[in-house]
Amino acid sequence: MTVLTKQLRENLLCNHPSHKQPNQYCWKPKKPPFGGNTCVTLAAHDIVDWADAIIANAATLHAPPDREEWWALEAKYRPTERRANAKGAGQSGGLAPNYIFAGGFDPSQLFGAQVSRAEPERGISNPSPIRHFPPEEYNLTGLHAYLSWMKNEFVEDEYLELYQRLSQEKIGIDIFKSVSGSKDARNDLVQELKHDLKIKAGMARRLVDKFLDWHSSLA
């Protein structure tokens, strides 16, 4: 075991009373809706993958790699999905439930992950105006995806660090899209980000101006 892996294991060691066995290794995402209160249980290979990503400068001791397999793992532990799963297990005689995602959102559409889910009964609905993201995910998964793209585009971790601030203020990807057709509206949003949310001027400008580049990159 490398020194880095040992240090990472120490950071992730968790003895929460809800665990069936002591000394579990858990990641506790801080972004909404988790708030650092949800244990995402990790297997040994997850920890090794995380440590390798740190060496490659693709993760830190407190943040795992920003890759599709970690997004899919995180999605399984979202509070809304876990409540739905618990209810489904009680109705199916204890059989392992499929994951049901809020608003019918399937992470495999965004990340390519093969996540099984029960298909909810619903009528014909209007498609989301932002591809891949239903409205309820605009300031959650959608915002996080955009900020991750910005982080990679400019090789600057500070963009992803803005997630909690923007999400709490409900400034999601729909807000950035709504101003994309007007120079005056874009300038107004830049000023709002700078003065109300205290975001650095250059970062605020890039967040507003680069949205369409990100949106057009979505398959």
Contact 136, 103 (CB under 8 A): yes
Report the pLDDT value the prediction gives residue 80, as an integer from 0 to 100. Answer: 59
Structure confidence by residue, pLDDT tens digits, 131-145: 778 888 898 988 999
Paired sense of beta strands 40-41 and 24-27, if any: antiparallel
Domain positions in the chain are 3-76, 135-217
Structure confidence by residue, pLDDT tens digits, 57-107: 888 888 888 888 888 888 888 765 554 444 454 444 444 344 344 444 444
Q: In whole angstroms, what is the distance from residue 151 CA to residue 214 CA?
A: 12
Q: Is 163 left (phi over 0), alpha (psi -120 to 50) or beta?
A: alpha
Tell me the pTM: 0.45
